[in-house]
């Protein structure tokens, strides 16, 4: 069963409700990456989100582009804040991705006001993204971030520039955070009003890895693991029709996410989610 397609903001693209988060490819070989591609095609995933900072991910995606470039809305990111550095980063990404254009270039990990001011300043990364758009190297421009301040920072960014997309955390814990939940909803309302696509991350986050624990997954947080827990976590995000879910950063958990997203999507009831949160000890991965 193919995963539902949704309007990606005002871009005109109907993107799969699950966007493939290519951080999962940062440390895999090409044969593993190619098996992931087969899975994406099987479930009708037509949107890939990668970044210059995701290890070898762009290199793993590059060989796919010869045959499949027009089948995917392709997004990457630059973490650089200055104009020259971001310009060079975008050029390197295009080279690594083996393409002459991406659909979306995103300013990566902007959540601190000082960094935002620099990136959006006269000699900042936004200038490089705008030049890339004008040159046909990118079609749209987005902004991403982590942490409990990011929704408010995105709202400020949207008042400074008409970004086409935002990316920020959302899951059961985030939706019940004392301050973030309200900030998220206000930012979502602004995005809805302005036709800005809203991508979400960390749907499967259970909590931070315990100190000294062996990290059994390629994620910087400890994820939920059981199929039924993943099902609820995925549905909790995708039951909201104006959200996208960027998939988990571990290739072995990806199939469960795709199975969940291809099933009948309905919002889990509060009691079931509260019980899951208590049983698994769901907690913040960003501190209080």
- List pLDDT tens digits, range 32-90: 999 999 999 999 999 999 999 999 999 999 999 999 999 999 999 999 999 999 999 99
| Residues found in the chain | 288
pLDDT at 288 over 80: no
Give the three-class secondary structure for 173: helix
Confidence class for position 207, pLDDT limits 50, 70, 90? very high
Kindly tell me if the per-residue pLDDT of 215 is higher than 90: no
Angle between helices 57-68 and 30-42 (to 10 degrees): 50
Q: What average pLDDT does range 196-225 have in this prediction?
A: 90
Is residue 254 over pLDDT 80?
yes
21 — pLDDT class (breaks 50, 70, 90): very high
Structure tokens at 61: 């995606």
Domain boundaries, the chain: 5-204+240-248
- Residue 210: φ, ψ to 5°: -65, 145
Note the pLDDT of residue 116: 96
Q: Are residues 86 and 74 in contact, defined by beta-carbon separation less than 8 angstroms?
A: no
Residue with tokens 């995105």: 154
**With bands split at pLDDT 50, 70 and 90, how would you rate the model's confidence at 287?**
confident
Q: What is d(CA 185, CA 123) in angstroms, rounded to the nearest whole number?
A: 32
The pLDDT tens digits of the residues spanning 148-192 come to 999 999 999 999 999 999 999 999 999 999 999 999 999 999 999
**The pLDDT of residue 273 is above 90:** yes
Superfamily holding 5-204+240-248 = NADP-dependent oxidoreductase domain (3.20.20.100)
Task: For residue 240, give both structure tokens.
Answer: 């909201």
Residue 216 pLDDT: 83
Average model confidence (pLDDT) for the chain?
Answer: 96
- Considering the entire predicted model, what is its pTM? 0.96
Region 90-100: mean pLDDT is 98
pLDDT band for position 210 (cuts 50, 70, 90): confident
Query: DSSP labels for 198-233?
Result: EEEE-TTEEEPPPTT----SSSSSEEP-SHHHHHHH
Is pLDDT at 201 greater than 80 in this prediction?
yes
């Amino acid at each position: 069963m193919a995963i539902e397609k949704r309007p990606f903001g005002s871009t005109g693209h109907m993107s799969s409700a699950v966007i493939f988060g290519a951080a999962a490819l940062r440390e895999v070989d090409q044969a593993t990456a190619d098996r992931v591609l087969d899975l994406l095609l099987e479930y009708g995933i037509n949107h890939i989100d990668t970044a210059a900072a995701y290890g070898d991910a762009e290199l793993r995606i590059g060989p796919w582009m010869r045959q499949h470039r027009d089948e995917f809305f392709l997004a990457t990111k630059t973490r650089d804040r200055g104009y020259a550095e971001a310009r060079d980063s975008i050029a390197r990404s295009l080279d690594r991705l083996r393409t002459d254009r991406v659909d979306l270039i995103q300013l990566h990990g902007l959540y601190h006001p000082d960094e935002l001011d620099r990136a959006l300043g006269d000699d900042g990364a936004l200038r490089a993204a705008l030049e890339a758009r004008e040159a046909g190297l990118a079609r749209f421009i987005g902004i991403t971030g982590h942490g409990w301040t990011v929704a408010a920072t995105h709202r400020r960014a949207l008042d400074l520039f008409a970004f086409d997309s935002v990316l920020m955390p959302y899951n059961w814990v985030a939706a019940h955070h004392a301050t973030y939940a309200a900030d998220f909803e206000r930012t979502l309302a602004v995005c809805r009003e302005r036709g800005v696509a809203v991508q979400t991350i960390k749907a499967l986050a259970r909590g931070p890895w315990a100190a000294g624990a062996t990290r059994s997954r390629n994620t910087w947080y400890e994820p939920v693991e059981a199929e039924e827990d993943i099902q609820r976590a995925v549905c909790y995000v995708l039951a909201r029709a104006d959200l996208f879910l960027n998939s988990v950063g571990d290739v072995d958990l990806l199939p469960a996410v795709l199975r969940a997203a291809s099933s009948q999507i309905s919002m889990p009831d509060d009691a079931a989610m509260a019980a899951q949160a208590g049983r698994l000890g769901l907690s913040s991965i960003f501190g209080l």
